[in-house]
């Protein structure tokens, strides 16, 4: 118990420090992380790491950032305002928890003599306009959602100059607390629980709202089943709404709460700044972890899959020693299949979970409703849609973008310039051949100095755009191998006393091999460009008079087309709209 209280106090202190640093940044100042760390030496390392998470979008995408914190329960009330105390029509009884922006109290509404949950902005006197706008937007989002598995909002108002909204008080623990106490759930029980949560999330999506912070601590388990169900009585006892709400063999009913990071799907309204990473790393979709503004319901589907994963295994799909390391795992690694951790987990629910956690959004369920339907099929013993089969599935998997494809957005413009450079180099080589130049050294110097100089410039330009990821270094090594292979062709011609440019078709083969390697790591579309270069190698052998011109065109196409695609994709994903 002492250890839990200590962790709670530590989290509350971290939350307060990060909130103060964020306020400094919002006010236009420079957050003094060093001073905060020096004043709190026991929190120094974690404070720096969490602040780094808030700045991660700047590093990954060159965008603005905003720090976000998970909702953290606290042990006691605010020392500056002892509880219980009066607040308008409410008597604040105890503090339930607080996050980076808001604080939630258990309260008694005096006029109706009922227990409610009351949320207001933390440190109201210091709250910025952005804080107040985000708070009001959350209230607006929740107020428009009427579903038995979403925390109900009773009213929105202002008292003593401070905005608040009044919600139903959920008596039971959070799903995170239940997991910490009891560990993983049986697969069928986990499926029933996630179906109810997923139907609630689908309702939010239908109203145009993305949650963006779904996690076990934001799922409340209502122990007052009979009372709450009577509030949501529909036309008939067998109504779909009632059947969704009831979970057989369960004493708890899930309630989705904390819409503090929600946004409109159409992008017309947002609660955070462009490029800000929002959410909780262990449950955050890869596209959300890079601060993209064009999130879709697929981001919430990923988070639902992460919740299901933890219900099945007792741990989230990704968790490292630090938040930064966890974000990197989300971006770089595949989750360990649940069945690899617990072999008794049913194969079908394992497949459902893994489909939710696919890195590319288009490989996940197309909607939360589709996920709920598959879970229902699993519970009924019927075939699930996520079971892979057929040639079409194989081809789609082969041609898909991998989760590493995000890095290509950094290379869009650079690859378009590279396509021009390689075409000009091939054109110069072809002109030398047509002019009768037969000295191998001229060609070796042209290609060696040309590619080495351009490669150095290209790499320096890329480094200026932000940190270079490990996968980019792998691709750079593959490209360098192709360059060395090209140089080796000229040397082999000299050693073997072959005519100049006799081995030129092998350069196209080397280029195709590099593109084949890229296809496996980045995107299946590079298989097409690899095949193009292999085909051109044959044509170069058949028509040597125009060999380098053909290779130049094929290479230019292989870099310009994907470069243009990812340049446009970055423009769409990193524009000036709010996220």
* pLDDT for 574: 52
Cα dihedral 379→383→389→393 (10° resolution): -70
Burial 111-130 (b: 16+ CB within 10 A, else e): eeeeebbbbbbbebeebeee
Q: What's the rounded Cα separation, in Å, for the pair 407 and 409? A: 5
Indicate whether 256 pLDDT > 80: yes
Q: For residue 427, give both structure tokens.
A: 């054109």
- pLDDT (tens digit per residue) in 467-494: 677 778 888 888 888 888 888 888 999 9
Q: What is the DSSP secondary structure assignment for residue 134, as one 8-state letter? A: H
Q: What's the rounded Cα separation, in Å, for the pair 363 and 355? A: 7
* pLDDT for 388: 63
102-109 vs 90-98, strand pairing mode? antiparallel
Q: What's the rounded Cα separation, in Å, for the pair 541 and 509? A: 11
* pLDDT for 58: 40
Q: Where are the domains of the chain?
A: 2-61, 85-168, 182-400, 406-573
| Average pLDDT for 80-107 | 83
pLDDT bracket for residue 111 (50, 70, 90): very high
Of all residues in the chain, what percent carry a pLDDT higher than 90? 37
Could you tell me if 405 and 362 are in contact, meaning their C-beta atoms sit under 8 angstroms apart?
no
Nearest one of 570, 528, 533 to 554, comparing CA atoms: 533
Q: What's the rounded Cα separation, in Å, for the pair 305 and 369? A: 13
Among residues 45, 58, 213, 325, the one annotated as catalytic is: 213
Homologous superfamily (CATH) of 182-400 is Transferase(Phosphotransferase) domain 1 (1.10.510.10)
| Average pLDDT for 23-41 | 70
Q: What's the rounded Cα separation, in Å, for the pair 243 and 228? A: 14
Could you tell me if 255 and 219 are in contact, meaning their C-beta atoms sit under 8 angstroms apart?
yes
Indicate whether 236 pLDDT > 50: no
Q: What's the rounded Cα separation, in Å, for the pair 320 and 17? A: 22
pLDDT bracket for residue 247 (50, 70, 90): low
pLDDT bracket for residue 272 (50, 70, 90): very low
- pLDDT (tens digit per residue) in 510-533: 999 999 998 988 888 899 999 999
- pLDDT (tens digit per residue) in 354-402: 999 999 898 899 999 999 999 999 998 888 886 665 666 677 667 877 7
Q: For residue 454, give both structure tokens.
A: 């351009």
* pLDDT for 123: 60
| Average pLDDT for 441-463 | 85
| Average pLDDT for 210-238 | 62
pLDDT bracket for residue 24 (50, 70, 90): low
Average model confidence (pLDDT) across the chain: 79
Cis preceding-peptide flag for 84 (omega within 30 of 0): yes
Higher pLDDT, 551 or 274: 551
- pLDDT (tens digit per residue) in 274-293: 444 566 889 999 888 877 77
Under 8 Å CB-to-CB from 537, ≥6 apart: which residues? 505, 506, 508, 509, 512
Q: Of the ranges 54-58, 73-77, 298-302, 305-309, which one carries the lowest mean pLDDT score?
A: 73-77
Nearest one of 226, 218, 232, 219 to 251, comparing CA atoms: 226
Our answer to whether residue 213 is catalytic in this structure is yes
| Average pLDDT for 564-572 | 84
- pLDDT (tens digit per residue) in 44-81: 767 766 665 555 434 333 333 333 444 444 444 444 46
User: What is the CATH architecture assignment of 85-168?
Assistant: 2-Layer Sandwich (3.30)
Could you tell me if 286 and 295 are in contact, meaning their C-beta atoms sit under 8 angstroms apart?
no
* pLDDT for 352: 95
| Average pLDDT for 22-37 | 68
* pLDDT for 389: 58
Which residue in the block uniquely carries the two structure tokens 């890079």?
290
Strands (E), 127-203: 153-159, 162-168
């Amino acid at each position: 118990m002492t250890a839990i209280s200590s962790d709670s106090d530590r989290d509350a202190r971290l939350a307060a420090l990060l909130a103060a640093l964020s306020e400094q940044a919002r006010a236009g100042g420079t957050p003094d992380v060093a001073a905060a760390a020096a004043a709190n030496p026991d929190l120094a390392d974690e404070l720096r790491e969490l602040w780094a998470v808030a700045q991660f979008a700047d590093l990954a995408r060159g965008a603005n950032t905003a720090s976000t914190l998970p909702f953290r329960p606290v042990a006691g009330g605010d020392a500056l305002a002892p509880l219980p105390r009066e607040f308008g029509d409410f008597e604040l009884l105890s503090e339930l928890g607080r996050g980076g922006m808001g604080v939630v109290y258990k309260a008694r509404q005096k006029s109706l003599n009922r227990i409610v949950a009351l949320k207001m902005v933390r440190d109201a006197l210091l709250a910025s306009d952005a804080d107040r706008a985000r708070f009001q937007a959350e209230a607006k989002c929740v107020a428009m959602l009427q579903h038995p598995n979403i925390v109900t909002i009773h009213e929105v108002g202002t008292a003593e100059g401070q905005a608040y909204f009044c919600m139903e008080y959920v008596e039971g623990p959070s799903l995170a607390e239940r997991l910490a106490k009891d560990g993983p759930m049986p697969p069928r029980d986990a499926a029933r629980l996630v179906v109810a949560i997923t139907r609630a999330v689908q309702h939010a999506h239908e109203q145009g709202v993305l949650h963006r912070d779904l996690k076990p601590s934001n799922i409340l388990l209502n122990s007052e089943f009979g009372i709450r169900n009577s509030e949501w009585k529909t036309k008939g006892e067998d109504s779909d709404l009632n059947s969704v709400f009831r979970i057989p063999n369960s004493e708890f009913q899930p309630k989705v709460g904390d819409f503090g990071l929600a946004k409109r799907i159409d992008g017309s309204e947002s609660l955070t700044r462009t490029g800000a990473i929002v959410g909780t790393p262990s449950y955050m979709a890869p596209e959300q972890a890079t601060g993209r503004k064009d999130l879709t319901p697929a981001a919430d589907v990923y988070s639902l899959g992460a919740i299901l994963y933890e219900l099945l295994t007792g741990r989230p799909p990704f968790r490292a020693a630090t938040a930064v390391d966890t974000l990197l795992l989300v971006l770089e690694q595949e989750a360990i299949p649940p069945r690899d951790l617990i072999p008794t987990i049913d194969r079908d629910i394992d497949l459902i979970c893994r489909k939710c956690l696919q890195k590319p959004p288009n490989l996940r369920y197309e909607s939360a409703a589709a996920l709920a339907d598959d879970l229902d099929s699993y519970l009924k013993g019927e075939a699930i849609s996520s079971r892979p089969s057929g040639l079409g599935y194989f081809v789609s998997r082969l041609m898909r973008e991998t989760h590493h494809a995000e890095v290509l957005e950094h290379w869009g413009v650079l690859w378009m310039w590279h396509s021009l450079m390689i075409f000009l180099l091939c054109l110069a080589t072809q002109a030398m051949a047509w002019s009768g130049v037969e000295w191998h050294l001229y060609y070796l110097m042209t290609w060696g100095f040309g590619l080495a100089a351009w490669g150095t410039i290209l790499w320096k330009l890329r480094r200026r755009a932000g940190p270079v990821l490990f996968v980019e270094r792998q691709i750079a090594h593959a490209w360098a191998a192709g360059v060395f292979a090209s140089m080796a062709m000229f040397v082999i011609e000299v050693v073997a006393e072959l005519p100049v440019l006799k081995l030129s078709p092998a350069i196209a083969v080397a280029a195709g091999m590099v593109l084949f390697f890229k296809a496996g790591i980045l995107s299946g579309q590079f298989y097409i460009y690899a095949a193009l270069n292999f085909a051109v190698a044959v044509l170069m052998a058949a028509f040597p008079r125009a060999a380098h011109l053909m290779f130049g065109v094929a290479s230019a196409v292989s870099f310009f087309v994907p470069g243009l695609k990812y340049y446009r994709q970055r423009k769409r994903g990193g524009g000036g709209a709010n996220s």
